[in-house]
Amino acid sequence: MERRSLHRNGPVFSRIVTGAWRWTLEERQVQELIEASLEAGITTFDHADIYGDHSNEEIFGNVLRKNPSLRKKMEIITKCGIKFSSSKRPASWVKHYDTSQQHIIWSANNSLKMLGVDHIDLLLIHRPDPLLNPEEVAEAFTSLKKSGKILHFGVSNFTPSQFEMLQHFLNFPLVTNQLEISIQHNVPLFDGSLDVMLKNKVSPMSWSPLGGGRVVNGDQQQLFQKASKYAATDAQLALAWLLKHPSTIFPVIGTTNPERITECSKAIDIQMDLQDWFEMLKIAQGKEMP
């Protein structure tokens, strides 16, 4: 598995990342998914404090507590900033965002506790908060960085202007913006999102790179008519389409199937032809390039 840096001063991650969004599972199953990922060369795992109604970090952490050697083989990403009504968070009665200094620091410390680790490799602001105070966020990030609890910082779902606004207040780089990008959700290729990543030499991450399964299970199977040419599955071809982009996209695959992890990991070996890439885009958009 190829490993690349998200930024010249950023972390080195496996080019394909395993997402734990759906991992509200028994510890045995989570361990199988971790081991399948590592066996396939996927060393980077993507979490958020809210996944599994605030449970998935702890389940993952329980596996690490029982198998401490696993932590040395992986990099961990998590996110913060979303709150919603939950029996585990009774103070919240409406879904909202909280990017205050106090909450970011509390959430980071809680994630460290749930995961049972002494540091997190990358912390992301999960969603752009309309009340975000960049100076408070900068103070929180700086404090966590100085303490060694969080090594790197980024954002998720930010617009280009929101990304550059927050970067302006930091003395160190935001190393990624995790965006929804897939062959069917290809808007970020044209709305400036990937342009600003290239401008800042920052690699984006792609959540839902297979469209939650819709990309390979929908009615546009002609998208993948080239699959036999590449001796690839539909999922592998969809990921290879993303991997070809010059911004160096890191797809985050979300699955509870160990075999699917192994399958997706092999997308890294596909060198997609230029015209095949544009042909897939033409089919996805329903029109030729202008």
**So which residues are the catalytic ones?**
51
User: ∠ CA(243), CA(231), CA(227), 5° rounding?
Assistant: 65
Tokens of 245: 């982009």
Is the dihedral angle over the CA atoms 149, 153, 156, 158 positive or is it negative? positive
CA distances from 263 to 36, 144, 185, 266 (A): 11, 37, 22, 6
Do residues 30 and 23 touch, judged by C-beta distance below 8 A? Answer: yes
Phi, psi of 262 (to 5 degrees): -60, -45
Residue 190 CA to residue 174 CA, distance in Å, equals 22
> Whats the size of the chain, residue-wise?
290
Phi, psi of 168 (to 5 degrees): -60, -30
Residue 169 CA to residue 134 CA, distance in Å, equals 6
What amino acid is encoded at 194 in this protein?
L
* Collapsed DSSP state (helix, strand, coil) of residue 254: strand
Direct distance between the N- and C-terminal alpha carbons of the chain, in angstroms, rounded to an integer: 36
* CA 148 remoteness from chain centre: 22
Residue 30 CA to residue 35 CA, distance in Å, equals 9
User: ∠ CA(284), CA(289), CA(290), 5° rounding?
Assistant: 140
Residue 68 CA to residue 118 CA, distance in Å, equals 12
